[in-house]
Chain A
């Protein structure tokens, strides 16, 4: 079962931590808000690291309905 990842744009503060830890999976748009780009770009552990490393807990990761992060 693949990971399901969402970014709450209202919570995102543009730290860029997610795009740094999981480059290719996340990127910042022109407004400095994180977006999901391609979850297959990095290993799952990096996606989790990115979500746990979000300063505002804006990234939610679930698998099969179970929340893995934050």
Chain B
């Protein structure tokens, strides 16, 4: 391979480029990014950037010197619009095409919006740095009333940060319990209670019928007809993998780019890999196809997929991580590792939810399936290792974590 193209200039794409150089690849690496900014870090967007504490410089993933060392052909501010697998070309929005011997797909995901909702000032999603800066400016106005739609991790972080900035915050969640599909009902309640305890108005089991306003957002109309006055509405109802540009390419798309256990896109003859939010791959650790929308996976899969691309299908290694993510809300560091089902058995093994410091384990069929911690990172690490080893439920429960 002499030319490798990376589509997507965020964490997964950057880590892919770094991995190629680390492995001694000295050909051309073209990195295509839809945003005009150098790769930046997304976790601070809903926290330090939204809080107005960190500026643009602070979220850069790498400095100028590092890009010089990496020697990348950076094509920023131009979106990829199509892929021709047979011709080995990527079409860009400016009409040019990029030829490749190997391709890394790392286009990430796009925030979902509420159906039929007009785009108007005051209505936000949060994915990009520009989103975060715009939202931060809006929320910084005195007496700002914020309605957050969706009490998932992003919505909850936004709510926590806005609340800390002095805004009046209401969180709307369609499900009866927040995060129940990820953490189960009981732990979902514990997460929801954080908002309640901090004085944020959390309303569950309600949908949004409309967002109204003449020239900008003025109120949210709920599915039960009630209205909430708002200056800012933040929609955090999940993301969809950014695969529209791959329609008609022949790659298998199934809520993401379908890949094998080594991150090779199905039917790509070992020349195309995918990584990060956009990739649905067969995770041998889980024994099933999955797609993960978290920082650690983007970093690790970007690295792994690029090394596999360089090594070729015969030498490529399976990608079998234990999914891990964190969320910082108020003064609590929530960390989760594993892949449990909402109805898995749970056991409190350390601390107490009332103290906001604890570890809870998830298990099914005699196996440990996940672990959730509030502000107990060291203790959680023990279970992260046990999960990687495929530990039994009994072994996990017997573990001393101090």
Chain A positions near chain B (C-beta within 8 angstroms): 13-17, 19-20, 23, 27-30, 32, 48-49, 52-53, 55, 57, 70
Contact = CB atoms under 8 A, between A and B. Distances in A.
A14 B326 CA distance: 10
Contacts of B66: 70
B385 A28 contact: no
A55 B299 CA distance: 9
A23 B300 contact: no
Given A20-B385, A32-B333, A53 B378 contact: no
Contacts of A17: 296, 324
Given A15-B326, A55-B296, A30 B378 contact: yes
Interface string B269-311: 0000000000000000000000000011001100100000000
23 contacts: A13-B326, A13-B333, A14-B378, A16-B378, A17-B296, A20-B385, A20-B388, A23-B385, A28-B381, A29-B378, A32-B378, A48-B22, A49-B303, A52-B15, A52-B18, A52-B303, A53-B299, A53-B300, A55-B41, A55-B43, A55-B326, A57-B61, A70-B61
A15 B22 contact: no
B384 interface: yes
A15 B377 contact: yes
B381 A20 contact: yes
Given A52-B299, A52-B303, A53-B300, A28 B384 contact: no
Across the A-B interface, give the 3 residue pairs with the lowest CB-CB distance, nearest first: A14-B377, A32-B377, A28-B378
B384 A16 contact: yes
- The secondary-structure label for the interface of chain B is helix
B380 interface: yes
The residue among B41, B296, B303, B324 with the most chain A CB atoms within 10 A of its own CB is B296
Given A29-B378, A53-B300, A14 B333 contact: yes
Interface string B46-73: 0000000000000001100010000000
A54 to B, nearest CB: 9
B295 A55 contact: yes
Contacts of A29: 378
Contacts of B240: none
A14 B324 CA distance: 13
Nearest to A70: B62
B375 interface: yes
A32 B324 CA distance: 16
Interface in B360-402: 375-378, 380-381, 384-385, 388
Contacts of B378: 14, 16, 27-30, 32
